[in-house]
Chains A and B, each alone.
Chain A
């Protein structure tokens, strides 16, 4: 597990760095492709905790070949980076292009858009509402995404409606997007080895 975490960290960080640079101006040094099946699963052989169970053709196909099409796509090697809106990389919510997006979960499968408008319209004008359906059942999938124009409206909506109920189900309400990565406080918790290993500590910024 520890080994896998290190490999993975290198992977992801190098990509982050690419994005911090000028867009595509500097050709990023060829970072290892995020071939999950080898970095997370394959590398975990030495871990002492339960080995990860793997399943699927993805593990049987030419594990060492770099010709698999997947390697070149999201990895960003040799191409310009991904578009992203401005963010300071810190914690906390980030603004979307036209406003602030709030996620509602625990939404009752029979909820209607109107129910959500009734609640969330009270905190500000709902500029956009996505209440997606389960493709198999046709009922509400269980979440909604709501757009407010202003930060304050979204913030109040979260504060006031998180943990309240809608059609006798408790809903959770939170920001949808974030300025920076999730803090992985416990990634190494399960590693039996002390953390002072060969690799330097991760430094993000």
Chain B
């Protein structure tokens, strides 16, 4: 693998960081989606929308400490997602779409793919190794964000 990141200078630090994840689809309950982002200034935003049984959109935001941002970076760094590429991943389709956008150091990824139902989808894809990294990273990030939102606001995020 070529030195994609060159000097992956993110390891040392405090430089630019942005993270956004989206998963959603449009169906009979409207545009159902879950999205969150960490902004460089520490603002964590979370939105979860479903029109199922007339649910309304949940939108929450809170500033997180630099330590939280650092941990998010660490999780991303450890995953090696920045070395991957979405070019051989399944295209988004009617079932849904996922987007993962990360700015770290001087690298900026904006990956888009379909929803991944299970590891079977990963295995049968054209890039099982890359997609597996994505698959687990997304779960780890969701888990982190859900804990934060849950503890701060005492709402239970619903997986969409």
Contact = CB atoms under 8 A, between A and B. Distances in A.
Given A58-B110, A181-B43, A141 B86 contact: no
Interface residues of B, number: 66
Which of A61, A69, A87, A147: most chain B CB closer than 10 A?
A: A69
Given A56-B110, A61-B112, A132-B147, A177 B64 contact: yes
A40 B108 contact: yes
Q: Classify the interface of chain B: helix, strand, loop or mixed.
A: mixed
Contact of A97 (B24, B37, B153): B153
A159 B85 CA distance: 42
Contacts of B101: 36-37, 56, 58
A176 B64 contact: yes
Given A58-B111, A70-B99, A176-B67, A141 B140 contact: yes
Interface residues of A, number: 67
B39 A12 contact: yes
B26 to A, nearest CB: 8
A161 interface: no
A155 B89 CA distance: 46
30 contacts: A12-B40, A37-B101, A41-B103, A52-B108, A54-B108, A56-B86, A57-B113, A58-B109, A59-B110, A69-B97, A70-B22, A70-B99, A83-B58, A84-B61, A105-B67, A128-B151, A130-B150, A141-B75, A141-B140, A141-B143, A143-B71, A172-B67, A176-B68, A177-B63, A178-B64, A180-B63, A181-B41, A181-B42, A181-B63, A182-B63
